[in-house]
Amino acid sequence: MPKYNPFRPGSIVTPGMFSGRVEELLALERIFFQTKNGNPQHFLIHGERGIGKSSLLVCLQYIARGELESYECGNFKFLTVGVELEPANCYLDIIRKIGAELQRVVYTHQRVKDVAKKAWDFLKGWEVMGVKYSGRDRIPQPHELLDDLTYTVEQTFKETKDEFDGILITIDEADKPAAEANLGEFVKIFTERLMKRGCGNVCLGLAGISGVLETLRESHESSTRIFEILTLEPLLPDERVDVIRKGLEEAKMKNGFEVSITPEAEQCISMFSEGYPHFIQQFAYSVTEGT
């Protein structure tokens, strides 16, 4: 009989399997709280591959949307826009991806779409996949697209502020594009223009491997100063064991029977993984498949 294996090596884990990162979550919740109250703060999560950056970003999106309660600040209700960058992406691609995802998010919220009609005239110009900007006789310049994106984000919040605390924009895999994509310049100018427009309820969050800091500085020397920088370290021993136990509990609920693990086996997985979530998931997955 096939059995459900809850462990996901190489994949983002769901919030139910998420463990640890309490200090980081508390710091990020405070950033959300400040942004909710019109004092925008931004964050950058970095660390080695397999350390759990993308999983933390997904957990944050659940908290920002109010689908998970925060540790200290109750429930938030942010409109969340998340994109992922690729090595070939350029400056225009970054703007287009955010614009296209903003369109998709607004479009899937019928109530938001009805309220945000003033912003919709711009949003309808972005194709859903972000491959073309329509409605103009010529290809727009980057500064024009950035101005339009800034204006639309501002208008989207302005028209939906009775519904949402603010807008959270996350950029995952921020390390992938080359320095020539000018991501540092984008984040610096984008956040400054929002402030100049009086739009203080937008939070920008980036995630990438540690080299992302240097890439951002190559594009704009002061770009990293806008962020609260969080460096992810390996999970602590008790947090590693917690990941295993959460997975086995999920498997028990779905399979209808229990798979037990000895404390010695837990300690072996904890030790050999060295606290990297990717390896915890891989070892636990292989052990569960073999039972």
Every domain range in the chain assigned CATH 3.40.50.300: 21-231
Q: What is the pLDDT of residues 171-184, one digit of tens each?
A: 999 999 999 999 99
Residue 128 has pLDDT above 70, yes or no: no
Quickly state the pLDDT bin for 142 (edges 50, 70, 90). confident
Q: Look at residue 131 and tell me whether its pLDDT is greater than 60.
A: no
Is the pLDDT higher at 129 or at 60? 60
Tell whether the model's pLDDT for residue 120 goes beyond 90: no
Mean pLDDT of all residues belonging to the chain: 88
What is the per-residue pLDDT for 59?
93
pLDDT at 113 exceeding the cut of 80: no
> What is the pLDDT at residue 136?
53
Q: Model-level pTM?
A: 0.88
Round to whole Å and give the CA distance between 35 and 201: 5
For range 106-113, the mean pLDDT? 72
Which of these ranges, 35-44, 102-111, 116-125, 201-210, has the smallest mean pLDDT?
A: 116-125
CATH number assigned to the domain covering 21-231: 3.40.50.300
Categorize the per-residue pLDDT at 114 as very low, low, confident or very high, splitting at 50, 70 and 90. Answer: low
Regarding predicted confidence, which is higher, 290 or 121?
290
